[in-house]
Structure 1
Amino acid sequence: MKWSQITDVGRVRAGNEDSLCACPDIGLFAVADGMGGHKAGEIASSTALNYLAENLRQALKTTKDIQASIQRILQEANQRIFRLSSEFEAYRGMGTTVTAGLFQEYQLFIAHIGDSRAYLVRDDDIIQLTDDHSLVGEMLRHGGITEEQALCHPQRNVLTRAMGTAPAVTFDFYNRRLQPGDKILLCTDGLVNHMRPEEIKSTILAQKDLDLAVKLLLDTALARGGHDNITMILVEME
């Protein structure tokens, strides 16, 4: 397994509220996009991923139910973020997306909440593995708008689910069997707001070097405005 990561504040935001986690020793890779007041989003996203990494490393030594362990750890992290938001005025209303992939040999476990995404690039296809928990995502799934309308919808950043916004939240879980040559992209919406899936796929397939691929994806998003923080991890199965 090879991997590359990159994060950038973008061209508009004053700070970077995204976080990422790369723990190849246990096969954990994750991105998170925080929201809230001054630096609160950064606190929410980093709290979620740090708690997940620290506790999953211990849980994997004994657990036989990986999904249940991830579910428990993320709910504990959610409670921690919600408690901080309730106790400190500066953190009031903060929350975060999380899209986490745990690679166990050729089995991929994904835990997801919010509108960050996981994509699978296989052969000449790109498949979105996660559903967006956003107002526009719900409208798109129910046929209320088209994909073209979703790209520029004024409420495309309104989330319907995020960590830290309630004492308990619901995560989506996915299992996927991988094969050699598969590439998994985890990314925040700072990338997908500027690039269509087909463009992302073409950029990844055109580059054998993962570092160059993520750099080119970032450069394209920045050239098109870079209106949000941009974070991604690209993993290739060998």
Structure 2
Amino acid sequence: MKAVFKTDCGKVRTHNEDSGGIFEQSERLLAVIADGMGGHRAGDVASQLAIKHIKEKWEQIDERKLDAAEAAEWLNEAIVSANQELYHYASEHEECRGMGTTIVCALCLDKHLIVSHVGDSRCYFMTSNGELSQITEDHSLVNELVKSGQLSEADAEYHPRKHVLLRALGTEPEINIDTVKLTWEKDCKILLCSDGLSNKLSDDDLQNILSEQASLEEQAEALIQYANNAGGEDNITLVIVEQTDGEAL
């Protein structure tokens, strides 16, 4: 597997409330993106705490090979414990009351992907044939309005409450996590990103850039440049992972 992580403050904001990382072991890789929220820079605290907690759990993981079910169980337990840590931290620090963060994690094994998320940070999957699809569903007010037929997808793009989340890590003592299990083979890719990217690029834009004959580093830079050229009002954070092992089907 090959992977790249990039984060950018954007063109408007003065600080970055996004966090993320790529954590590798012998035959597996964990990619994580967190987009923090909260006043007095507490969004920074929330996203950084979430990434730090999950990294620590990753470093303690049993080195034996995990199957897809075991990997999903481990990943969701790590997110649940991160939620509890953030919630308790906020309750003990007045300046952090109400802070929270999105989280999207992809645990990449040789033949399987496990993706778990809370909030509106996304994961996209690209097949070896170059077809791109969004495999996470935003936990947002606007998305629920679209699903219920009260709002069109076109109107949702410009809705004044577009950023209102229905789920976030750290805001409640219990959390519901969505998990997707996929198989993948050589030349497949995943893209994890905060909404600073997904709000600025269409699925076609993402697919075109990820299909370019360029390195992952160059593709990541192109995605960030595109989002900044489109306004860059938000922090922009992404991970691209490509499966380089096995045979393409």
Please say whether Structure 1 and Structure 2 have the same fold, judged by a TM-score greater than 0.5. yes
Residue 48 (structure 1) aligned with residue 50 (structure 2): yes
The equivalent position to 1:221 in structure 2, one of 227, 232, 237, is: 227
159, 182, 185: which one aligns with 1:153: 159
Kindly provide the amino acid, as one letter, of the partner of residue 183 in structure 2: R
Cα drift, residue 146 of structure 1: 2.1
3-state SS of 1:73 partner: helix
Query: Which residue is 1:78 aligned to?
Result: 83
Partner of 2:4: 4
CA deviation string 1:108-161 (max 9, x = no partner):
011100000000112232110100000111122222222211211111100000
Aligned pairs, how many? Answer: 238
Instruction: Report the residue type matching 1:76 in the other structure.
Output: S
Alpha-carbon distance in structure 2 between the residues aligned to 1:68 and 1:205: 32
**Whole-angstrom distance in 2 between the partners of 1:92 and 1:141:** 31
1:234: Cα distance to partner?
0.6
Counterpart of 1:192 (choices 195, 198, 210) is 198
Structure 2 Cα separation of the partners of residues 97 and 179 of structure 1: 28
TM-score, normalised to structure 1, is: 0.96
State percent identity of aligned pairs: 37
- The yes-or-no answer on 1:113 pairing with 2:118 is yes
Q: What is the distance in 2 between the residues matched to 1:124 and 1:56? A: 31
Taking the aligned partners of 1:120 and 1:69, their CA distance within structure 2 comes to 22
| Partner of residue 105, structure 2 | 100
Q: Secondary structure at the match of 1:46?
A: helix
Distance 1:54 1:150, change over 3 A: same
**1:34 equivalent in structure 2:** 36
User: In structure 1, what is the Cα distance between the partners aligned to 2:196 and 2:166?
Assistant: 18
Which structure 2 segments of 5+ residues have no match? 245-249
- SS of 1:42's equivalent? helix
Match of 1:234 among 235, 240, 243: 240
Deviation at 1:42, TM superposition (A): 1.1
How far off is 1:203 after superposition? 1.1
CA distance in 2, matches of 1:180, 1:143: 38
Contact 1:56 1:70 in 2 (8 A): no
Q: Say which SS state the counterpart of residue 38 (structure 1) adopts.
A: coil
Deviating beyond 6 angstroms after TM superposition, the runs of 4 or more aligned structure 1 residues are none
Give 1:9 deviation, angstroms. 0.6
Deviations along 1:69-116, one digit per CA (max 9) or x if unpaired, are 222221111111111111111101000000000011121011100000
